[in-house]
A = this chain, B = another copy of it.
Amino acid sequence: MPVNLPELDPSQLHPVAGVELGIASAGVKTPGRRDVLVMRLAEGSRVAGVFTLNKFCAAPVRLCREHLGVRGDIRALVVNTGNANAGTGLDGLARAQRICDALAGHLAVQPQQVLPFSTGVILEPLPADKIVDALPDAIADLAPTHWAEAARAIMTTDVAPKAASRQVQIGGKTVTITGISKGAGMIHPNMATMLGYVATDATVSQAVLQKLAKWTADRSFNSITVDGDTSTNDSYILIATGAAGNAEIADETSADFVAFRDALLAVAQTLAQAIIRDGEGATKFMTVNVEGGKSWDECKAVGYAIARSPLIKTAFFASDPNLGRILCAIGYSAVDDLDVETLEVWLGDVLVAEKGGRAASYTEEQGQRVMQQAEITVTVKLNRGSEAATVWTCDFSYDYVKINADYRS
């Protein structure tokens, strides 16, 4: 069961003016499953995206990059679950293109104004015809209120749907930010995430939107890991319809920019953390704070070394304060000139290690007390600079093995 992931309350998901969502059943993998999502965007919407750096990136990711490169006026997104259309070569590209063509025809836009997405098993041909056949039903279902249904439609091994919503005042106007995400395994995003879609009715310049896509991804989806596997299909899409009527956010020093950026980050972080709370087999939610580094990159490297370690993750599963494993991971993280004598390791509010060894004040009882909790924070103070970074992860349980040994069957 997900770790402290509140049940989705559709009434808490504010519609975003200019965005409609429609769901249909194509039976890509499971007959009857509502597995296709279409998002229609009002004319004038701006879209920015960041995508996986995996060289075997999926066919739809390649088309997304191409379409976003050609023109800014994206009018629709189409997502299927059940098949990733990755490792499918030129044939996979043709199939993704066919879906864009069909949706563009229905909506009377150009195929390059459509962004396609797929998630599911890799190396299998995408049943594009089934998806094309389901498009009319999805279009008939289009409504601004279907965010919760959309979150459900894009799930794979997720146990629970993931969504977040927030409203903020920008220049006297109420601006809405609502997003959905999916993902539970093959999670170690690199520049992007599994699938994350965040829409706002704010008016934002294209340059600021693209910059914020990267900035918020780095601090949310790019700061999580379940298993260290960077997916072939990671995509994070930011949509700004401009329907809120605020003065365009273009100046990065303005109070409006800061208010909008912070609200956007809060939504993106909630969505990214939801993926970890629903991580495959997760029983614990772990926050790894690394402070006092010389750079954000080195803090992130230390954080990820801890968050990726199967030895640490199994110890957390067992609620066993086997904390030497944390020191070990810090020691092999890629920070070349690290001085182990000056750093500190904290488990919750308990000082565990300092001066290269166990803290004199530490007792096994203190460690046990923190390890029993469902949400645990590990803090590493590098004490050599002023930068900080946070990484979120989950523990490693029998169920992770079970889920991934069974996934295709």
Binding site for B on A (CB under 8 A): 53-57, 84, 86-92, 121-124, 185-186, 188, 190, 227-232, 308-311, 314-315, 317-318, 320, 322-325, 327-332, 335, 338, 340-341, 353, 355-358, 396-398, 400-402, 404-409
Kindly state the separation between the CA atoms of A108 and B229 in the bound complex, as whole angstroms: 54
* Distance, CA A320 to CA B409, complexed state (A): 9
Question: Quick check: A327 and B90 within 8 Å, CB to CB?
Answer: no
Query: Are the C-beta atoms of B322 and A87 separated by less than 8 Å?
Result: no
* Residues on the B chain within 8 Å of A87, using CB: 324, 327-328, 353, 356-358
The 3 closest A-B pairs by CB, nearest first: A122-B324, A89-B357, A56-B331
> Chain A: interface secondary structure?
loop
A186 to chain B, nearest CB (A): 6
Copies of this subunit? 2
How far apart are the CA atoms of A186 and B331 in the complex, in Å?
Answer: 13
A407 — nearest CB in chain B belongs to which residue?
Answer: B322
Identify 5 residue pairs between A and B in the complex whose beta-carbon atoms are under 8 Å apart, listed by A's number: A56-B327, A84-B324, A228-B310, A315-B404, A315-B405
Residues in chain B near residue A404, CB distance under 8 A: 310-311, 314-315, 318
Besides A186-B325, A228-B228, 8 other CB < 8 A contacts? A86-B327, A87-B358, A89-B355, A92-B357, A122-B328, A310-B310, A318-B405, A322-B407
* Complexed CA–CA distance, A396 and B400 (Å): 10
Interface centre among A55, A124, A329, A407, by most chain B C-beta atoms within 10 angstroms, is A55
Return the chain B residue nearest A319 by Cβ.
Answer: B405
CB atoms of A122 and B310 under 8 A apart? no
Taking a contact as CB atoms under 8 Å apart, the answer to whether A332 and B53 are in contact is: yes
Instruction: Name which residue of chain B comes closest to A332, CB basis.
Output: B230
Closest residue of B by beta carbon distance from A403: B314
CA distance A89 to B360 in the complex (A): 11
Is there an interface contact between B405 and A320, defined as CB atoms closer than 8 Å? yes
Task: List the B side residues contacting A124 at CB < 8 Å.
Answer: 324, 358
Q: Are B122 and A327 touching (Cβ within 8 A)?
A: yes
Cβ A401 vs Cβ B228 within 8 A:
no
Tell me if A232 and B401 are in contact (CB < 8 A). no
| CB of A48 to closest CB in B, whole Å | 23
How long is the Cα–Cα vector from A339 to B90 in the complex, in angstroms?
Answer: 14
Min distance, Cβ A305 to any Cβ of chain B, angstroms: 9
| A308-B228, A323-B123 known; A186-B328 Cβ under 8 A | yes
Q: A356: which of B90, B329, B397 is its contact (CB, 8 Å)?
A: B90
Residues of chain B within 8 A of A398, CB atoms compared: 398, 401-402
Q: A407 vs B87: C-alpha distance in the bound complex, in angstroms?
A: 39
CA distance A330 to B229 in the complex (A): 11
Contact B121 A324 (CB under 8 A): yes
A325 to chain B, nearest CB (A): 7
A9 to chain B minimum Cβ distance, whole angstroms, is 33
Contacts of A57 in B (CB 8 A): 331
Specify which chain B residues have a CB less than 8 angstroms from the CB of A358 in the assembled complex: 87-89, 123-124
Pick from B123, B322, B408: contact of A408, CB under 8 Å: B322
- CB-based contact A311/B86 at 8 Å: no
Please tell me if the beta carbons of A318 and B406 are within 8 angstroms of each other in the complex. Answer: yes
| Pairwise interchain contact B122-A332, C-beta atoms closer than 8 A | no
The reply to whether B357 and A123 form a contact with Cβ atoms under 8 Å apart is yes
Are A322 and B357 in contact (CB-based, < 8 A)? no
Partner of A86, one of B308, B328, B408: B328
Q: Whole-angstrom distance from the CB of A346 to the nearest CB of chain B?
A: 14
Cβ–Cβ contact A228 & B405, under 8 A: no
A232 touches B355 (CB 8 A): no
The listed residue with most B CB atoms (<10 A of its CB), out of A314, A353, A407, is A314
- Is B88 a contact of A357 with CB atoms below 8 Å? yes
Interface centre among A53, A311, A320 (most CB of B within 10 A): A311
